[in-house]
Chains A and B, each alone.
Chain A
Amino acid sequence: MDIKDIIKPENKVYAKTPILTDAVMHYCPGCTHGVVHKLIAEVIEEMGIQDKAIGISPVGCAVLAYNYIDIDWEQSAHGRAPALATATKRLNPDKYVFTYQGDGDLASIGTAEVMHACNRGENIVIIFINNAIYGMTGGQMAPTTLLGQVTATTPYGRDAKLNGYPMKITELLAQLEGTCYVTRQSAHNPAAVRKAKKAIRKAFENSMMEKGTSFVEIVGTCNSGWKLTPVKANKWMEENMFPFYPLGDMKDR
């Protein structure tokens, strides 16, 4: 049997969404970003909103997200994506506006912006990738870094006395009146991926219903930063991240 006999429309079981570009991703093998990018692209395709979606990329590993998802993009200053999204959505209420931010961007330098955008109940989607580390700058401590976790700036492990405690920003945002949907998901196995996609779709749908801000945290791995193989990183995440950052909806109204 020749390969040409296999490549036939009737044999097709999977196709990459055309909303994902053909650019080769710069993410490390094993990184969660690629999976989440694909989920967002699929949701945009399935909802038929390519011409209505505006993405806002952060500073951090996902700064180049605009190379991979074929929609209009703004690239934000570090932490300010929710401010950009606020104005973008208010001035263009017919658009689906989302930010895509990591934990350093969203939960450290951008704390004020995300708090206030959520508190105003901006009708936007915030996708928050929490991998408990600064990936792009080379694996330094993030606000979400676990106690005892070794990073480039906590070489002896995060010490609460020296560095404070890991921040559960998603729980904080769930307290705000302005958020309508706050959930924590992961993307480490097929079941989790399916659930995460459902959450992202719901968040996008909410943004046209004037219900307030939808916030989707995705606990992910940074196997390079964590200095683990992808498989071991997934295991470490399940054993260490999930107990502290439990998965599930915190708010849905």
Chain B
Amino acid sequence: MAEKILMKGNEAIAHGAIRCGADGYFGYPITPQSEVMETLMEEKPWETTGMVVLQAESETSSINMVYGGASTGKKVMTSSSSLGISLMAEGLSYLAGAELPCVVVNVMRGGPGLGTIQPSQADYFQAVKGGGHGDYKMIVLAPASAQDMYDFVGKGFDLAFKYRNPVMILSDGVIGQMMEKVELGEMKPRRTSEEVAQQCPWALTGKHSGRNRNIITSLALDPNVQEKTNQRLQAKYAEIEKNEVICQTYRTEDAEHLFVAYGSMSRICEAVVDQAREAGYKVGLLRPVTLYPYPTANIQALVPQLKSIMAVEMSAGQMVEDVRLAVEGKVPVNFYGRMGGMIPSPDDIFEAFVKSINK
């Protein structure tokens, strides 16, 4: 078995990138995720795998560097935190419109505005429902441990290239800053130019007599053409929804009450489930691992056995809307959240849960 190393979630992102054969990282410092680029600079992968690492002049530039790199079929990524992601919104929409694969990490902090550097989950809407302009979707993965941070980089690239679509790893300050054991996987070599040309016939590898020129663009001035593009994108999203949902459950077999929480909050809710079970409540947890596509059917499957659901988030209540859409009013859906960088403790949540079922 590979060695297990103690590291922060942010550091795990960097190691995950190097080891999954990423070609490039472009980023700009922002708390609480600066360790991603710091670790990459420390590791100097350009001397070993040839991976390019560059500190850009802004998040705007970072995401556009990602666009440039992805256009050539390379595995490129960036990371930032909330407000930096807001700056990237235009680029994310372009990437989705031009159908470019890439991985974007958001280690969320509290907002709105400059907000706080403490953890938050208030960018759910931004990640899942858009953020940038136009009808587009990103595949959104929600890590709950440093190991997830490591694993999701490679997994994210696989999904990104499978669907030619941006993938976001939606993390938060807890998962980014917390240190845990991480098992590093095998070193995957970067793809050769030949492999890129073969696997990504759309990529800009140089026009030669064997093919027409490749053009990466999200522009279609003719609305008939643009509508067709949109229809193609929607068909792709439907495929993603059909094939790529991931969720985990904990003690749901006989559960009468269900917590729904993702990322760091799913970890805390796991402790609350144990606490509530000891107090005699039949409680379980459903953790969406993919936030888009959302595990709507998995939640619906549990509805017949449930008396109530409680969504727990570090936000004013964002994911809870997708829970409500899933259950269609068949069971009461309650919400507990903290905002602005406050992390609810297991006791806080347990107390809110007891109150919610006794009201």
Contacts and interface: CB of A to CB of B under 8 A. Distances in A.
B207 A71 contact: yes
20 contacts: A50-B207, A53-B206, A54-B206, A71-B206, A73-B217, A77-B64, A77-B67, A77-B94, A80-B61, A80-B67, A86-B61, A87-B67, A90-B69, A91-B23, A91-B24, A92-B72, A112-B57, A113-B61, A113-B64, A116-B57
Given A72-B206, A95-B206, A88 B60 contact: no
A200 B218 CA distance: 28
Contacts of A176: none
Contact of A87 (B69, B206, B213): B69
Give the one of A51, A84, A116 with max B CB within 10 A. Answer: A84
A112 B58 contact: yes
A66 B212 CA distance: 12
Interface of B: 23-24, 26, 52, 54, 56-58, 60-62, 64-69, 71-72, 74, 76, 90-91, 94, 98, 204-208, 213-219
Contacts of B60: 80, 83, 112-113
B67 A76 contact: yes
A77 B204 contact: no
B43 to A, nearest CB: 17
A114 to B, nearest CB: 10
Nearest to B205: A72
A75 B213 CA distance: 13
Contacts of A233: none
B207 A91 contact: no
Contacts of B215: 66, 72-73, 75
A47 to B, nearest CB: 13
A61 to B, nearest CB: 12
- Chain A contact residues, majority secondary structure: helix
A88 B68 contact: yes
Given A51-B208, A86-B54, A90-B54, 13 more contacts: A52-B206, A56-B68, A74-B67, A75-B217, A75-B218, A76-B68, A83-B64, A83-B67, A84-B64, A86-B68, A95-B206, A112-B58, A112-B60
Interface of A: 50-54, 56-57, 63-64, 66, 70-77, 80, 83-88, 90-92, 95, 112-113, 115-116
A80 B60 CA distance: 8
Given A51-B208, A95-B206, A112-B57, A83 B216 contact: no
A73 B206 CA distance: 9
A73 B204 contact: yes
A24 to B, nearest CB: 15
B130 to A, nearest CB: 17
B91 A80 contact: yes
Given A75-B219, A91-B24, A84 B68 contact: yes
Q: Which of A64, A70, A74 has the most CB of B within 10 A?
A: A74
Nearest to B50: A91
Contact of B204 (A64, A74, A83, A86): A74
B208 A50 contact: yes
A74 B72 CA distance: 9
A116 B94 contact: no
A75 B208 CA distance: 20
Nearest to A88: B68
A153 B68 CA distance: 33
A84 B356 CA distance: 51
B213 A72 contact: yes
A86 B69 CA distance: 9
B26 A87 contact: yes
Nearest to B57: A116
A84 B76 contact: no
Nearest to B91: A77
A91 B69 contact: yes
A135 to B, nearest CB: 15
Going nearest first, the 9 A-B pairs with the smallest beta carbon separation are A84-B68, A75-B217, A83-B64, A80-B64, A87-B68, A87-B69, A87-B65, A72-B204, A116-B57
A239 B173 CA distance: 59
Contact of A72 (B24, B65, B68, B214): B214
A123 to B, nearest CB: 13
A88 B58 contact: no
Nearest to B24: A91
Contact of B52 (A70, A85, A90): A90
Contacts of A116: 56-57, 61
Contacts of B94: 77
